[in-house]
Amino acid sequence: MKKINAEQILWRPNKKSSVPLYQQIFQFVCNNVSRGQWPVGTKLPSQRSLSKLFEVNRSTITTAIEELTSYGIISGKSGAGTEVISNTWSLFLPTTTDWNKFIATGFFHENNNIIQEINRLEFEPDLIRLGTGEIDPSLFPQEMWQKVLNRLGTKVMSLGYLEPLGLLELREALADHLNAEGLNVDADNILITSGSLQALQLISAALLQRGSTVYTEAPSYLKSLQLFQSMGMELSGIPMDNEGIQYWKLPRVTNKFNNILYTIPTNQNPTGITMSMERRRSLLDFCIENRLPIIEDGAYQELCYDDGQPKTLKSWDKNDMVIYLGTASKTLAPGLRIGWIVASKPIVQRLGDVKMQMDYGASSVSQWVLTEFMNSGLYDEYLEELIRKLRNRRDRAVRSLSKYMSDIATWNVPTGGFYIWLTFKSKIKIEQFFEQAVKEKVLLNPGDIYDFKHSRSLRLSFAYITEDEFERSIKKLRRIYDK
């Protein structure tokens, strides 16, 4: 059952407004309930802590609570026991279908509280997003975008459904691009997806089964998703060192249940670690020996700032062991919702068939846009510039950390991607730290989201905010830490 602590509530009533305070509080609770943020069963903070939090008289809170009770939204009990018992939406329905029962029984797990809160707070205008896995909107290639759209305006004659594997022109452009990076694929080895997140959904729906174990780095981006667990699969976190996953620590692998290994070898999310060449080779050998297929997530493969791109596992894969995932989200634009799966033809066909059942294809507009970006050479030109800018941001970020954090935390210096994994030297109450930071207008991604155990780390991203914003927020974090 969800419990809301007073510190988690960032909203405050507006004392200058002509709307009475109790009504503002009433509306605030209704909004949270009807948006599903406080589902039925959620326990609210006590009246005493609410009056302290909102800096209003206890009687104002009592009036708001009475009003909410009379609408049947919360239980009438006072004190810490007050809880949400219904939502306004179902009250207004002519027949009272118990939708809450439906909501509680759907097989997809809900995101954990902090992730839900981050997803909401990312759209609050004045918060600095210190952990966001996205490039800064100010780096968006506006002029190139205009050129691409102008050309497409005359080129694209219709926007019908596309063939199951996706737009042929895009698959051909991607095959050229990937072959230049050392893979050996043709357009029939590629399936276009609606982002790599969908690629993971397709794999779990079509290739895995209830009881399958997905081995992955600990920590991992995958841990932040409920996807595999919702489908009845186990996630098993395997420790890393600075060369990547320590695959020899895997429990004895049997492949009774279609187990699989998921890895982000290049610029891993969230640690920023890039797997060494030696580790890549020996991991592949280990997986071949144990018949353990690999999902290689190459989301950050193109974003290497120091030594060029390392070879992908897929480029060494002579045994069709590896399913490679790519995406346009981390370089160009997540809003395109375009990703790709590279695998053997039977796998691509099977996943393509499932995709047709799910959404009948990714957006054809987005597929044309990416094709034009690639074929015109604008994508490569843009990427070169992006890498230069992100390298500068990385360098400044590391300098800011050295200035403010070196006595209290450790971190890695990533050779690419977006992330720096910062670990505090001593124990820290990360949830409180998160809430404190939000109050100071800094939004964090706590390590717990990604790790398999309690974490004293933060995923910092230097990609979404400017060098100065990064430095200012690190300075604020230091102040909060010292309080």
**Residue ranges that bind ligand PMP, judged by CB under 6 A:** 133, 195-197, 221, 264, 269, 297, 299, 327, 329, 334, 339
**Closer residue to ligand PMP, CB minimum distance, 339 or 352:** 339
Closest residue by Cα to residue 362 from 200, 199, 194: 194
Least separation in angstroms between CB 334 and ligand PMP: 5
Q: C-alpha distances in angstroms, 381 versus 215, 373, 393, 395, 446?
A: 37, 10, 19, 22, 35
**Closer residue to ligand PMP, CB minimum distance, 13 or 195:** 195
Q: Please name every residue paired with 237 in a beta bridge, in sequence order, or none if there are none.
A: 216
Least separation in angstroms between CB 356 and ligand PMP: 19
Contacts of 292 (CB under 8 A, 6+ apart): 215, 253, 255, 259, 260, 261, 286, 321
**Closer residue to ligand PMP, CB minimum distance, 33 or 333:** 333
Phi, psi angles (nearest 5°) of residue 9: -90, 115
Least separation in angstroms between CB 370 and ligand PMP: 12
**Closer residue to ligand PMP, CB minimum distance, 221 or 228:** 221
Closest residue by Cα to residue 342 from 332, 330, 331, 352: 352
Residue 412 burial (10 A CB sphere; 0-12, 13-18, 19+):
middle
**Closer residue to ligand PMP, CB minimum distance, 64 or 369:** 369
Least separation in angstroms between CB 195 and ligand PMP: 3
Least separation in angstroms between CB 269 and ligand PMP: 4
**Closer residue to ligand PMP, CB minimum distance, 175 or 362:** 362
Least separation in angstroms between CB 326 and ligand PMP: 8
Least separation in angstroms between CB 363 and ligand PMP: 13
DSSP 7: G
Q: Which amino acid is at 176?
A: D
**Closer residue to ligand PMP, CB minimum distance, 337 or 391:** 337
The two structure tokens encoding residue 243: 């060369």
451 contacts 219 by C-beta, under 8 angstroms:
yes
Q: Which amino acid is at 448?
A: D
| DSSP H or E run through 18 | none
Least separation in angstroms between CB 64 and ligand PMP: 39
Least separation in angstroms between CB 337 and ligand PMP: 7
**Closer residue to ligand PMP, CB minimum distance, 133 or 361:** 133
**Closer residue to ligand PMP, CB minimum distance, 442 or 463:** 463
The two structure tokens encoding residue 353: 């068939």
**Closer residue to ligand PMP, CB minimum distance, 50 or 299:** 299
| DSSP H or E run through 295 | strand 294-297
How far apart, in whole angstroms, are the C-alpha atoms of residue 483 and residue 480? 5
Neighbouring C-beta atoms of residue 197, cutoff 10 Å = 17
**Closer residue to ligand PMP, CB minimum distance, 293 or 417:** 417
384 contacts 178 by C-beta, under 8 angstroms:
no
**Closer residue to ligand PMP, CB minimum distance, 212 or 269:** 269
Which residue is closest to ligand PMP by CB?
195
Contacts of 94 (CB under 8 A, 6+ apart): none
Phi, psi angles (nearest 5°) of residue 324: -100, 135
Contacts of 348 (CB under 8 A, 6+ apart): 165, 188, 189, 190, 191, 341, 342
327 contacts 382 by C-beta, under 8 angstroms:
no
Least separation in angstroms between CB 250 and ligand PMP: 20
Least separation in angstroms between CB 431 and ligand PMP: 22
249 contacts 280 by C-beta, under 8 angstroms:
no
DSSP 83: B
Three-state DSSP class for residue 321: coil
How far apart, in whole angstroms, are the C-alpha atoms of residue 442 and residue 440? 6
The two structure tokens encoding residue 438: 């939000």
Q: How many Cα atoms within 13 Å fall on the side-chain side of residue 12?
A: 10
Least separation in angstroms between CB 340 and ligand PMP: 9
